[in-house]
Amino acid sequence: MIVPLVHVLVLAAVLFILGLVCVLVWRRNLIMILIGIEIMLNAAMLVFVGGAARWGTADGQVFALMIVAMTSAEVSLALALVVYLHRRKKTVNADEFSEMKG
């Protein structure tokens, strides 16, 4: 462990906040919402890897790998959904898809 765990956690928290801000600010653009989710999942990965380095066990790295697999599944489905929605209404503006009023 080269730096205190707290510094790693602070970096992860800052990255997570940036992802959250991205989702909240660009909540009309489906692509930017997905990018914000990517940034937040990266911050979660950083926490797992930092924990693995702090306690010297491989479990954290294993779950960072799980997050990578989960993210690729999520992104492929979400982008297929974006393509489908764009085919229906020719837009990626999230406000346009409000027929269900929910």
**By the rule CB under 8 A, 89 interacts with another protein:** no
What are 93's strand-pairing partners?
29
**By the rule CB under 8 A, 3 interacts with another protein:** yes
Check if the beta carbon of residue 52 is closer than 8 Å to that of residue 59: yes
Return the residues of window 6-25 that contact another protein according to CB under 8 A.
Answer: 6-8, 10-11, 13-15, 17-22, 24-25
Shortest Cβ distance from residue 64 to another protein (Å)? 5
Residue type, 78: A
Q: CA 102, CA 41: separation in Å to the nearest integer?
A: 26
Check if the beta carbon of residue 85 is closer than 8 Å to that of residue 21: no
**By the rule CB under 8 A, 5 interacts with another protein:** yes
Tell me, by CB under 8 A, how many residues bind another protein: 69
Q: What number of other Cβ atoms are within 10 A of residue 22's Cβ?
A: 20
User: x/- binding map, residues 34-73, to another protein, per CB under 8 A?
Assistant: xxx-xx--x--xx--xx-xxxxxxxx-xx-xxx-xxxxxx
Quick one: 85 or 100, whose CB is closer to another protein?
85
